[in-house]
Chain A
Amino acid sequence: MPILFSIVVGIALFFMIGFVARALLQAFAPAHLKPTFRDTPLTACFGLSVILLYVVVAIFAPMIAPFGEGEVLGAQFLPWASPHYLGTDKLGRDMLTRLIYGARNTVGIAFATTALSFFVGSFLGIWAALAGGWLDQWLSRFVDALMAIPALILSLLLLTIFGTSVLTLILVIAAVDATRVYRLARSVAQGIVVMDYIEAARLRGEGMWRLVRREILPNAVAPLVAEFGLRFCFVFLSISALSFLGLGIKPPTADWGSMVRENATLITFGDITPLLPAGAIALLTVAVNFVVDWQLHRASGLKE
C-alpha cells in the first residue's frame, strides 16, 4: 500500500511542478521565446525545474544544511525526528545535511568530469576531422579499440592500475567518456569540413585553431549540446555506481553513491532512508533526460 500511495503522490507532484513551471516560463520568458515555451511538454518543464532546484541546493549547500558535512552528532541510525528530520547515518551524521552536501559533491564532480571529457573529446574529434590523413586514422583506430571494451570494465581496469582517488576517478571516467564524445564530434565535424566555406577559409590562410574556433565550432554546437546532457547522465550514473561499489568518492566526503552503500543494511529492516540518495540520483538523471528528449525532438523537427 505505501508503495502505491507514494506512486500516486509522485505522479501528482510531477503534474503540479510541470504545470507551475510551464506557467512561470510563459510569464517570464522574453517575447521572442514565448512561442517555444508554449509547446513545451510537461516532462521538460518538470525536468527544468528539478535541474534548477539541484543547482540552487548545490550552490547554497552550506547555508541550507542544518549541520556540518562531516559532523558526528549523536547516536547512529536515529529515526526520522526533529532535529534530524531524515535521521542519522551509520556514524551518527545528519542524513539531510549529507544529502544536501551530496548535491554539491556528486553533481559537481560529475559536471567537471563531463566538461573535461567534452573538452578533450570534441577537440580531438574536430582536429582529426580537420587534419584527416594518418592522424585521423591513428586516433580513430585507437578510439575504436578502446570502445570495444565495455565502459565500466575499462574504467575498473584503469582504476585498479592508477589507484582509487577522486582525481583519478575524474580523469579515468573523463578519458573513457571522451572516446564517445570523440566519435560524435568527429562525425559532426566531418560533415562540416567538406563545406565550401571551410575551403574558402582555408584558402584565406586561416590557421587550424582559428578554423576550429570560428568556422567549425559554431556549426557543431547544437548536436554537441544535446549530447552533453546525455553524456552527463552516463557520467553521473557511472560515478555513482563506482562510489556505490566503494571505488569512487570516498568518505568523509558526502556523496550519494557511497551513502547508499554505507546505509544499505537499513533496507533489510524496511527503512527507506538509504533509498533517498539513490532517488536523488535517479531524479536528476530523469530530469536531464526529459530536457534532452525535448531538445532532440525540437532539433529533429519530428512532429509525426
Chain B
Amino acid sequence: MHGIWTMIRQRLLLGMLTLFIISAVIFGATELLPGDLARELLGQSATEETLAALREQLGLNESAPVRYWNWLTGVLHGDFGMSMATNKPISELVGTRLGNTLFLALYAAALAVPISLTLGVLAALWRNSIFDRASNALALTAISFPEFFVAYILILWLAQSGIFPSMVRMTEATTTLDFLYMAFLPALTLTLVVTAHMMRMTRAAIINLLASPYIEMARLKGMSPMRVVLRHAVPNALAPIINVVALNLAYLITGVVVVEVVFVYPGLGQLMIDAVTNRDIPVVQAIALIFACAYVLLNLLADVLSTITNPRLMHRK
C-alpha cells in the first residue's frame, strides 16, 4: 500500500507542475501580440483616455511577471479578476455554469462508458462477424461527424416529434429529474460522439490480447469464449481501456463547447464563446485554465488507475 501513496504523491506533484506551466502559457499568450493590447482591443479610433483607462483596468502598466504573479495568486484564492464586457467578477459568471457543464459531461459519461465498453467487448468476441463489421463502420462514421451535425439530427428526429426539448431552460423550479430530461439530447449527442472511439479502442485492446498464449491455453481448457474474454482478456486490457476512457472524458470537456451552443445550454462553453466573440480576454483565460485543469486531472486519474490495475507496474523491481 505504501507504494501507491508515493506514486500518487509523485503524480500529483507532476500534475501541479504541468498546471503551473499551462497557466504560464495561458497568461503569456497575450504577450505574443505585437504592440499594445489595449489598442488592439479598442481599435484605431480609441482616444488616449479610454486607452489609459483600459490599461489601468487590465493592469497593463505593470511588467508582465508582476501581472502574472498577481493573476496567479488571485486565481489560487478563487478570484479570476473582472470581465471586461460585463464588468462583473468572473468567479460570479463562472460559478453555476461550471456546475452545469460538469453535470452535462458526467451525464454523457454515465451513458457513454457502459455502452461503449459493452459494444467493444462484444465486437471483440464476435470479431469479423456482421455485427463487428457494422459496428466498426458505424463507429468510423460517428467519429467523422461534426458535433453540430449529430446534434441537429437528434433535434430533427427527437425534438421535432416533441419527445425531448431542444433547448435547456432553467428556472428556479427546475428539479434534478426535469434537468435530466431537458439535458438528455445534449448528453446523447456527446455520448454518440465519444462512444465510437472508446468502443474501437476497447475492441483493439482486447483483440491484441487474444493472440497471446495464455488465452490459447484458456481456450484449450475448454472455456467458453465469453468467459475467456471477460475473465482473462478484460482484466489485462484494463490499463489501455482506462486510458482511452479518460482521454475521451477529457475530450467531452472540450466537446461540450459546440453542443452547449446548439442546445443553448447555460454552461461554461457558451460563456467562453461569447467571451471570444467579445474578445473578453480575462474571461477566456479563466475558462481556458479551468478546462485545462480538468483535462490534466483526468489524465492524472487515468495514470494512477491504470498503474493500480497493472500489478507489473505496481510492484516494479
Contact = CB atoms under 8 A, between A and B. Distances in A.
Contact of A244 (B18, B148, B281): B148
A282 B30 contact: no
Interface in B132-151: 137, 140-141, 143-149
Contacts of A289: 140, 143-144
A153 B144 contact: no
Interface stretch (A87-95, A201-209, A233-241): A233-241
Contacts of B125: none
A301 interface: no
Interface in B244-270: 250-251, 253-254, 257-258, 261-262
Contacts, number: 137
A178 interface: no
Interface in B283-307: 284-285, 287-288, 291-292, 295-296
Nearest to B280: A160
Given A150-B254, A161-B30, A282 B22 contact: no
B156 A153 contact: no
Contacts of B22: 145, 148-149
Contacts of A152: 254, 257
Contacts of B66: none
Nearest to A245: B273
B292 A244 contact: no
Contact of B156 (A241, A272, A281): A272
B144 A156 contact: no
A3, A245, A272, A304, most chain B CB atoms within 10 A:
A245
B29 interface: yes
Contacts of A108: none
Nearest to B127: A304
A264 B153 CA distance: 11
Contacts of A162: 32-33
Interface residues of A, number: 48
B265 to A, nearest CB: 14
B9 interface: no
Interface string A252-269: 000001001000100110
A231 B202 CA distance: 22
A273 B299 CA distance: 40
Given A145-B22, A157-B285, A278-B152, A244 B144 contact: no
A245 B137 contact: no
Contacts of B295: 148-150
Interface residues of B, number: 54
- Binding site secondary structure of chain B: helix
Interface string B40-65: 10000000000000000000000000
A78 interface: no
B214 interface: no
Contact of A149 (B25, B144, B272): B25
Contacts of B288: 149, 153-154, 156-157
Given A154-B288, A278-B152, A290 B258 contact: no
Given A148-B296, A275-B153, A290 B140 contact: yes
Contact of A163 (B145, B152, B279): B279
Contacts of A233: 144
Contacts of A274: 152
Interface string B8-29: 0000000000100110011001
B59 to A, nearest CB: 16
Interface in A147-194: 148-154, 156-164
Interface in A30-86: 43
A237 B146 contact: yes
Interface in A208-261: 233, 237, 240-241, 244-247, 257, 260
Nearest to A154: B288
Given A156-B276, A157-B288, A241 B148 contact: yes
Interface in A271-304: 272, 274-275, 278-279, 281-282, 285-286, 288-290, 293, 304
15 contacts: A146-B25, A148-B295, A150-B250, A150-B251, A156-B284, A160-B284, A244-B261, A268-B160, A275-B149, A278-B148, A282-B146, A285-B145, A285-B146, A290-B140, A304-B127
> 4 smallest A-B Cβ distances: which pairs?
A285-B144, A278-B149, A150-B254, A286-B144
Interface of A: 3, 43, 145-146, 148-154, 156-164, 233, 237, 240-241, 244-247, 257, 260, 264, 267-268, 270, 272, 274-275, 278-279, 281-282, 285-286, 288-290, 293, 304
Given A148-B18, A149-B26, A279-B149, 17 more contacts: A148-B21, A148-B22, A149-B292, A150-B254, A153-B254, A157-B26, A157-B285, A160-B275, A160-B280, A161-B29, A161-B30, A245-B273, A260-B149, A260-B152, A268-B160, A285-B146, A286-B145
